[in-house]
């Protein structure tokens, strides 16, 4: 099953998408009809320029495997899961330092499960689930403080006001005073107990479901739930809007507990992969009948577009939604490493209709080789 999922993930890596008890405001609920199409959307309609930024390679700056990247204060903060560290680079890709404090002492973590940039306090906040703590460092990597947060979750996000959001759809958590929290979206403010602001999901853990669910845009955070066909708009402790996606087909919950399931047999929309906010659109990729589809939703008008993919008509090079939107959705950082490049080459060899330019790909391979196969960040700019 996991091999099939991996195969389908890389098959669409070239696609540009490649009821709370103390709620104070009434939630605006809208329904969007999502209808699959066969045509592709030109990348140039939503991205105007691609810049390729090789990351400096050296003993300190060598990258094992990138799982997340953020841009803040003119620096790239790259999560290297191979080394359990955050490596810092300048906008030009030059090495600028790192955060690596593995251990059991003060200011040390056992694992970087998640990290985010706290723009409110100008800190780098690392969440270590096993230790049940958020560890905070300044932008130069110096330890600041640690905050107790005994929550098991699938995703973690820092809000514009420096509070913490946890997506916990299949774990029952407790507060410090042993009060039970339901499953769903949890908010934790500074010096306060966490509280459930939206109940959703299921208490049964499904390891095949993706955990990359939160996306921030300006003062809002959007949660793309895989347990429901809903996108939740979050403004700190409020849920001002819920966007229900009507695919015309209900989710078959029995699929998640079956041990013999196959992605090719799925007859309902499955997995919201790599969600993002880009320019005026919410977006994600999902699988249906073994095929990948990309959805763009205008969050101002509520209108949606569904495509079988988006073709790179800008430079015929490489762009994949596997990184992070930055600058309030004006830009997107994509990650290109040797493994993804190999998977991409294999994909285009089996799909000759995929638009690409061999000289552009050869150029990127040469740059990567000269840089000891350290990854390249692809910086996409919007209209």
Tell me the C-alpha distance between 251 and 258, whole Å. 14
Report CA 119 to chain centroid distance, whole Å: 18
Confidence band (pLDDT; 50, 70, 90) for 111?
Answer: very high
Q: In 3-state terms, what secondary structure has residue 154?
A: coil
Confidence band (pLDDT; 50, 70, 90) for 201?
Answer: low
Tell me the C-alpha distance between 262 and 24, whole Å. 43
Confidence band (pLDDT; 50, 70, 90) for 145?
Answer: very high
pLDDT at 129: 95
Domain segments of the chain as ranges: 2-382
Most confident option among 120-129, 177-186, 255-264, 373-382: 120-129
pLDDT at 360: 79
Confidence band (pLDDT; 50, 70, 90) for 13?
Answer: very low
pLDDT tens digit sequence for 237-294: 999 999 888 877 776 666 666 666 666 666 666 677 788 888 788 888 877 776 777 8
Answer whether residue 20 shows pLDDT above 50.
no
Are 239 and 198 in contact, with CB atoms under 8 Å apart? yes
pTM of the model: 0.87
pLDDT tens digit sequence for 365-380: 888 888 888 999 999 9
pLDDT at 377: 93
Tell me the C-alpha distance between 290 and 292, whole Å. 7
pLDDT at 10: 43
Answer whether residue 66 shows pLDDT above 50.
yes
What's the mean pLDDT when you consider all of the chain?
82
Are 222 and 233 in contact, with CB atoms under 8 Å apart? yes
pLDDT at 253: 66
pLDDT at 157: 96
Q: How many Cα atoms are found within 13 Å in the side-chain-facing hemisphere of 337?
A: 17
pLDDT at 259: 64
Q: What's the fold here for domain 2-382?
A: Neuraminidase (2.120.10)
Q: Which residue has the higher pLDDT, 28 or 96?
A: 96
DSSP calls for 202-229: -SS--TTS----EEEETTEEEEE-SSSS
Q: In 3-state terms, what secondary structure has residue 68?
A: strand
Calculate mean pLDDT across residues 37-54: 83
pLDDT at 34: 78
pLDDT tens digit sequence for 350-361: 766 666 667 777
């Amino acid at each position: 099953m996991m091999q099939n999922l991996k195969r389908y993930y890389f098959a669409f890596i070239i696609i540009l998408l490649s009821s709370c008890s103390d709620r104070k405001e009434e939630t605006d609920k809208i329904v969007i009809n999502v209808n699959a199409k066969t045509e592709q959307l030109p990348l140039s309609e939503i991205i105007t320029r691609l810049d390729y930024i090789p990351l400096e390679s050296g003993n300190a700056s060598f990258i094992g495997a990138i799982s997340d990247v953020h841009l803040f204060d003119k620096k790239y903060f790259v999560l290297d899961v191979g080394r359990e560290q955050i490596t810092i680079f300048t906008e030009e890709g030059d090495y600028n330092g790192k955060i690596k404090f593995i251990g059991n002492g003060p200011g040390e973590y056992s694992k970087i499960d998640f990290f985010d940039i706290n723009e409110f306090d100008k800190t780098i906040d690392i969440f270590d689930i096993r230790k049940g703590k958020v560890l905070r460092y300044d932008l130069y990597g110096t330890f600041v403080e640690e905050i107790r947060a005994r929550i098991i979750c699938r995703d973690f996000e820092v809000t514009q006001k420096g509070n913490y959001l946890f997506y916990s759809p299949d774990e029952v958590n407790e507060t410090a005073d042993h009060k039970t929290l339901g499953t769903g979206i949890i908010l934790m403010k500074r010096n306060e107990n966490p509280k459930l602001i939206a109940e959703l999901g299921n208490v049964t853990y499904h390891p095949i479901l993706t955990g990359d669910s939160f996306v921030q845009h300006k003062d809002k955070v959007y949660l793309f739930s895989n347990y429901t066909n809903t996108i939740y708009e979050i403004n700190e402790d409020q849920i001002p809007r819920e966007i229900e996606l009507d695919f015309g087909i209900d989710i078959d919950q029995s699929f998640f507990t079956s041990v013999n399931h196959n992605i090719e047999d799925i007859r309902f929309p499955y997995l919201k992969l790599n969600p993002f906010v880009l320019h005026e659109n919410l977006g994600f990729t999902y699988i249906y009948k073994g095929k990948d589809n990309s959805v763009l939703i205008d969050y101002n008008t509520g209108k949606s577009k569904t495509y079988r993919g988006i073709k790179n008509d800008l430079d015929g090079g490489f762009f994949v939604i596997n990184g992070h939107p930055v600058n309030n959705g004006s830009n997107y950082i994509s990650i290109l490493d040797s493994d993804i490049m190999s998977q991409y080459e294999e994909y285009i060899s089996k799909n000759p209709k995929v638009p690409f330019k061999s000289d552009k790909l050869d150029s990127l391979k040469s740059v990567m080789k000269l840089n000891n196969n350290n990854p390249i960040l692809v910086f996409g700019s919007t209209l």
